[in-house]
Amino acid sequence: MIPCRFLNAVLFTIDEDITLLVSSKGKATIQTKKVQECREQNLQHDKQKIRLINPANPWWYQLGLTTREGKITADLQHKFKQIYKYAEIVESLIKPMKFDGTVHIADMGAGKGYLTFALHELLTQRLNLDVDIKGVEIRPDLVLKINEIIKADNLKGLEFVESSIEAYHPEKLDVLIALHACNTATDDAIASGIKAGAELIVCAPCCHKQIRQEMERSGKVDVITRYGIFLERQAVMITDTIRALILEYFGYKTQVMEFIEMEHTPKNVLLVGRKTKAYVDKDGITRQIDDLKKKYGIERHYLETVLPLIG
């Protein structure tokens, strides 16, 4: 038990030790003593924060995200926050899953590779998984550049392949990632994941043009969609709702969540599908999709054309 009253205290500094002595009668005396040995000031926290993504790793500099010293460049602070949030979400999704051996992953429309490298770093260095990650990207110059970085850093289980999303058909796929694949490219990615039987599908859709254009052509407007900005937002919600329902039709438990705050990107919705063995009311799901399409004058969602079992 710690007593409620102290009779002395010592403050240790770099240059001297300061001692406060209090007698039994309450008289206080201060003594100072110069330090003989050399003391260094430690500005680090007592408990170091464990980062999911370490910006000091060389590939982040090679990708242009950091300086040579591993400091995030000022103009890409927002991008790093987005990458880090992505890593947090993916960790929470993959950590509880059980895999038999190598985890086969496709990142569709991988672009400059920020999120693909974050995924590789997270799974290999933090979760200690054996992975085979393919970054699928149609631009040959990016594929060449990224594969050179992968080779230079000797990153096992990571490779970029030159292909469009709709043309890429992996033999084995456990996890499909498609972040900001434009317009119907998101649907091509979802279809690829479903056809391959992926256990987990994670998409951050953008550019919902197909449904918006069908709504505009139909001329069906209501008190909300007669305003242009609300038409755009409604098209986004309808597009992603039908995507979620189609995932459910094919046996996925779906979840729609916020990816990152709107101040960092307007493309902040994340659509997640986890493969289950639960019973699926396919007729009920089909009716929900048909009701949505009828209400807003939509002839067909693009995802229905690449997954013809719907409708």
CATH number at residue 133: 3.40.50.150
Model's pTM, two decimal places? 0.79
- Residue 246's domain spans which residues? 58-299
The count of residues in the chain is: 311
As beta bridge partners, residue 108 has 136
Per-residue pLDDT tens listing for the chain (311 residues): 445 566 777 777 777 777 777 777 777 788 787 766 665 665 555 555 567 899 999 999 999 999 999 999 989 988 888 899 889 999 999 999 999 899 999 999 999 999 999 999 999 999 999 999 999 999 999 999 999 999 999 999 999 999 999 999 988 999 999 987 777 889 999 999 999 999 999 998 877 788 888 888 888 777 777 777 888 888 889 999 999 999 999 999 999 988 755 444 445 789 999 999 999 999 999 999 999 999 889 999 999 988 876 54
Return the closest-CA partner of residue 126 out of 118, 115, 138, 136.
118
Query: Do both 178 and 225 map to the same domain?
Result: yes
Query: Do both 215 and 295 map to the same domain?
Result: yes
Structure-token pair, residue 291: 């009701």
In a domain, 210, yes or no: yes
Task: Please count the structural domains in the chain.
Answer: 2
Q: Rounded to whole angstroms, how far apart are CA atoms 16 and 32?
A: 7
Query: Do both 219 and 269 map to the same domain?
Result: yes
Query: Do both 28 and 141 map to the same domain?
Result: no
CA distances, 168 to each of 147, 192, 231, 254, 295 (Å)? 18, 8, 33, 24, 34
Query: Do both 98 and 144 map to the same domain?
Result: yes
In a domain, 241, yes or no: yes
Residue 21: CB atoms within 10 A of its CB come to 13
Query: Do both 22 and 66 map to the same domain?
Result: no
Helices (H), 180-308: 185-196, 209-218, 228-249, 282-295, 302-306
Query: Do both 97 and 14 map to the same domain?
Result: no
